[in-house]
Structure 1
Amino acid sequence: MIYYAIIKKHPFYMKKNFLIVLLSILALSSCSKDDDVTEELVEEPTTEEPEEEPEEVTLDREDYPIQDFIYQAMNVYYLYKADIPELADGYFTDTNEYVTYLSENPDPENFYYDELISDQDRFSFITDNYIELENSFSGVSKSNGLKFSLVRFSNSNDIFGYVRYVAPNSNASSTIIERGDLFMEVDGTQMTINNYQTLLNQDTYTLNLASVSDNTVSNTGESVTLTKEEGFTENPVYIAKTLDVDGQKIGYLMYNSYVSNFDSELNAAFADFKADGITDLVLDLRYNGGGSVATAIDLTSMITGQFDGQVITKQQWNAEAQAYFESESPESLISRFNSTIYTGTDQEEAINSLNLNRLYVIGTGSTASASELTIIGLRPYIDVKLVGSTTVGKFQASATLYDSSNFGRTNANPDHTYAIQPLIYTYSNANDIVGPATGIIPDFELEEDLTNLGQLGNPDEPLLRLALDQILGKSRSTKRRAGPAYQLVGETDMFSPTYQRMYDNRLPEIKK
């Protein structure tokens, strides 16, 4: 109370005290801020925990079963293994590196074609449906029965087709279409190099028929509608007949595919030839793109018979496989003349042999693989003459490899239907002659002329006539008159997985 009275009575003291109070407040405020700064300076830094490194993922082969199977099969059997560095034994340092390689190739087809196929290989392939492939090897396919060639006009993208033959009991056989007919349009659309595959791959289509006159192909106004049938089966023994020409019995066999399922029918045809007492045989392989090695061996034995047990071909595999067979199973590298046909079972059927010393074969640019094996396999033993034009030049065999422990069909992985069909060996004949990649050159040259195809099996058909003339010792000019200038583009089965392929039914096992 006394202090208050003094201030109130003396203004100087009031001002002085006010200043003191103000300075005290400012001092306290300053101290508070300094304390905050001090606390911030002495505060311990927060310790950040180091980031954990991701755990290393271990890859598993079982995660890539299809790629693993493809690689392992190619590593063992592929003919051109030496061309692919990744297929070399020991190329991968450990399993993880190998599985990483598999994981980088998620698409099986791209993996097969882009990574594992040699540039010199025209024939190896992969399928995602081996059931369909097996049917094809058995002569079963989706077909309307029309067999044709496709040719391209010179200096043009336009294409026309001509009918080679019509398979019996097919959809096409119930129509008016026949050998020699021409067609340019499918469903009213002109075929070109760009659209013919799409047009002809339809299940049902209509062909507008055409004719040729003065080197000009034009529509006739007629048309034929054809429908492909599932499960159509074609007997490759197309014509088997005995011709009586100038008092001489000559056999004629038009054989269109080496299909083991029809070996009994083939053997029966030779029984008929034998019963007829033929002295010569014309083997027409002009449209035969090949097939089973076993059937080719059987056919050579049917034509002959006097060389039972002797060597027909000698196989050459990749270096590792060849060394294995030479050490463990040298006989598996040899194909020999035999006395029973291949059936794939324990049942045996005696071969009907003709014991011929010469053979005339009709061949063309569609004659390949097992057909060519028949020709060069027989040449060391009998006189084989080729009539027609140069063959394809395909002297490697393939095999179907499945996802199983030994790559055979038994116990194949049930989770998928992938299989591969790689080339596994090439071969020479008994005289160590390897067929030329450019094809076998004819001894008597004559190309088919679409303006004069003739009737198959008729002695006046141009190629058969030429073969018969040689048998009978008649000389005849093989020059053919000029026809329309055109280039062969393809044929009916060119997109089939078995087109111009030769396959070995009996895959010898390699144990590593």
Structure 2
Amino acid sequence: MKNTFKTVSLLFMLALFFNCTKEYEVPDDLVLRDFVWKGLNAYYLHQDQIEDLSDRRFNSDQEINTYLNTFETESDLFANLLLAGDTKSNILEDYNIIFDEAPINQVNGFEFGAILEPGSTENIVAFVYYVLPNSDAELKNLTRGEFFNTVNGTQLTVTNYENLLLNNTSDYTLGMVNFDGITVTPNGKSVTLKKESYDVLPIFLEKVIPVATDNVGYLMYNNNFSGDYITDLNNAFLNIKNQSVNKLIIDFRYNIGSGGFAKNITQIASMINGDFIDEIAIKEEWNTKAQSWFLANQPDSIVTKFPTRLNISTEINSVQLTDVYFILNGNNFSGSSAIELLMNSLKPYINVHIIGNQTIGNNTGSITLYNSEDYNFANRNMSHTVALQPIVLTFLNNSDETYANGFSPNIDLCANEDILNLGVLGERSDPLLDRVLNYISSGNIGNSTCDQDNFEYVCNTVAAQREIDNGVFINQHLPNTN
């Protein structure tokens, strides 16, 4: 009798054990929606403000399933779970686009803007912002500040300029004109340009400008903040270092990049000043429950220090600068999340001068979540290609400062450059650069006289190329939360 009782008791305990430890199987038709809910519940920055993401919202898997079934697609669910106004978080239906190589550029070799011709509601006058080095446009002697108003003999208008200039895949001829702000006068010059493959130069312009007792380094950087150009930037900083530069201007006015990775930003920060090795450049603040876990289990993983190397074989070329000057571009460019993170990481240590308008205040970071137990790529569910890119954290610097409201400039700029006086990039004939150099030498911020001509701007090809700024991304080892 005792043996029978022991056997029954043992079977009961085994049954109870297996029932308690049996892994819940997500129904096949809910795999994607389950992934979306769990990923956002674990790591979405605003998780504690979304009622349907609360840990107490559902009492059982069945309740969650009932809720998930009220959404037709994973994208519908994702959108419903975001805080109102969140335009940074994203869901990818095919994560392979992350790894796709950028297409080879087919360009005519210049960037331009356009305004309505004074006195007209239809005709436009276009002007050259800059010419790409070693391009067909440079070969044909097209220069910054020149004007044109026809393509292949056809007057440019607000309704045809896109087809004639932007969507045109063949050669075309620009009809050049003189423009004094009022009158458009053909000058007899024409420039025939061809579309060609073009490898964008990592650094658009690099030079050293003597100003009184200072050696001022000048970099115009137009590219993104991915790892593609970090080595080139590092080489540029070596050139600057070798010329005893003590102040630096980084000109971002035509920059088309956006986020990039936080690691790359700290590498650039170390190039600007390498005196703060092992000091904290970036702190991360996650949602309440994720932050608590990181602080308890891996606190070092939510701070990034100024690095000394790009990789195991490449040292960072650091310049011991005390002042850095970032040029933005009025209303055309008020900075990106990457540029703001760079500014913020340096502010506790050196003098950061901003030339432009109030920056946008994109102080959040994102991560790519794949459908696996620890949300990493290696162990992902191979039955689909959906990935999540939610905002998951706020960036702070070593002084616990963040920048949700953006940064105020030291020098205010007009909404647009003076198209009648653009000057030569990298020379003091460029009014914007000249103003910054005067500020460096005298502390005088100068004056902005804006919109004297009251032009109506129609097009800016640089602005059109700027990526949607979803914030800076991080790499992070995440715990298994499933």
In the alignment, is residue 354 of structure 1 matched against residue 319 of structure 2? yes
Question: Cα offset for 1:253?
Answer: 1.2
Question: Cα offset for 1:371?
Answer: 0.5
Question: Cα offset for 1:423?
Answer: 1.3
Residue type of the alignment partner of 1:431: S
**What SS is found at the alignment partner of 1:204?**
coil
Instruction: Report matched runs for 1:82-121 at 5 Å.
Output: 82-113=48-79, 115-121=80-86
In the alignment, is residue 334 of structure 1 matched against residue 303 of structure 2? yes
Which of 298, 307, 318 pairs up with 2:267?
A: 298
Of structures 1 and 2, the larger Rg is shown by: 1
Question: Cα offset for 1:268?
Answer: 0.8
Question: Cα offset for 1:248?
Answer: 3.9
Residue type of the alignment partner of 1:356: L
Residue type of the alignment partner of 2:294: F
Gaps of at least 5 residues in structure 1 are 1-57
The more displaced of 82-91 and 290-299 is 82-91
Question: Cα offset for 1:505?
Answer: 3.9
Which of 199, 203, 225 pairs up with 1:237?
A: 203
| Kept in 1: contact 2:36–2:78 (CA 8 A) | yes
In the alignment, is residue 311 of structure 1 matched against residue 276 of structure 2? no
CA distance in 2, matches of 1:160, 1:372: 34
Which of 33, 45, 49 pairs up with 1:67?
A: 33
Residue type of the alignment partner of 1:240: E
Q: 1:279 to 1:419 in 2, by over 3 A?
A: same
Q: Deviations over 1:342-394 (max 9, x none)?
A: x5xxx342111111111122123421111111112212111111123332221
Which of 406, 429, 434 pairs up with 1:465?
A: 434
CA distance in 2, matches of 1:109, 1:184: 45
Q: Which residue number corresponds to residue 368 of structure 2?
A: 400
Q: Which residue number corresponds to residue 30 of structure 1?
A: none
Question: Cα offset for 1:271?
Answer: 0.8
Q: Deviations over 1:162-193 (max 9, x none)?
A: 5544555678767766544567889977336x
| Kept in 1: contact 2:246–2:320 (CA 8 A) | no
Residue type of the alignment partner of 1:484: N
Residue type of the alignment partner of 1:362: I
**What SS is found at the alignment partner of 1:455?**
coil
**What SS is found at the alignment partner of 1:190?**
coil
Q: Deviations over 1:287-340 (max 9, x none)?
A: 334422111111111111111111222221111111111111122221221211
Instruction: Report matched runs for 1:188-227 at 5 Å.
Output: 190-191=157-158, 202=167, 204=169, 213=179, 215=181
| Kept in 2: contact 1:283–1:359 (CA 8 A) | yes
CA distance in 2, matches of 1:489, 1:171: 22
Instruction: Report matched runs for 1:144-159 at 5 Å.
Output: 144=107, 147=111
CA distance in 2, matches of 1:219, 1:108: 57
CA distance in 1, matches of 2:40, 2:429: 49
CA distance in 1, matches of 2:173, 2:66: 51
CA distance in 2, matches of 1:153, 1:376: 41
Instruction: Report matched runs for 1:364-443 at 5 Å.
Output: 364=329, 365=331, 366=333, 367-437=335-405, 439-443=406-410
Residue type of the alignment partner of 1:106: E
Q: 1:148 to 1:189 in 2, by over 3 A?
A: closer
Q: Which residue number corresponds to residue 363 of structure 1?
A: 328
Residue type of the alignment partner of 1:324: W
Q: Deviations over 1:201-253 (max 9, x none)?
A: 74737796776845458696968777596xx7534422222223446422111
**What SS is found at the alignment partner of 2:209?**
strand
Which of 454, 470, 479 pairs up with 1:484?
A: 454
CA distance in 1, matches of 2:114, 2:374: 41
Q: Which residue number corresponds to residue 500 of structure 1?
A: 469
**What SS is found at the alignment partner of 1:241?**
strand
| Kept in 2: contact 1:449–1:483 (CA 8 A) | no
The more displaced of 331-340 and 100-109 is 100-109
Gaps of at least 5 residues in structure 2 are 1-23
Q: 1:401 to 1:458 in 2, by over 3 A?
A: farther
| Kept in 1: contact 2:353–2:409 (CA 8 A) | yes
Residue type of the alignment partner of 1:301: S
CA distance in 2, matches of 1:359, 1:453: 23
Q: 1:476 to 1:103 in 2, by over 3 A?
A: closer
In the alignment, is residue 279 of structure 1 matched against residue 249 of structure 2? no
Residue type of the alignment partner of 1:76: A
CA distance in 2, matches of 1:69, 1:226: 48
Q: Which residue number corresponds to residue 36 of structure 1?
A: none
Q: Which residue number corresponds to residue 8 of structure 2?
A: none
Q: Deviations over 1:134-166 (max 9, x none)?
A: 447xx6676636555677899989988755445
Q: 1:68 to 1:358 in 2, by over 3 A?
A: same
TM-score normalised over the length of structure 2: 0.77
| Kept in 2: contact 1:235–1:262 (CA 8 A) | no
Instruction: Report matched runs for 1:11-160 at 5 Å.
Output: 60-113=26-79, 115-135=80-100, 144=107, 147=111
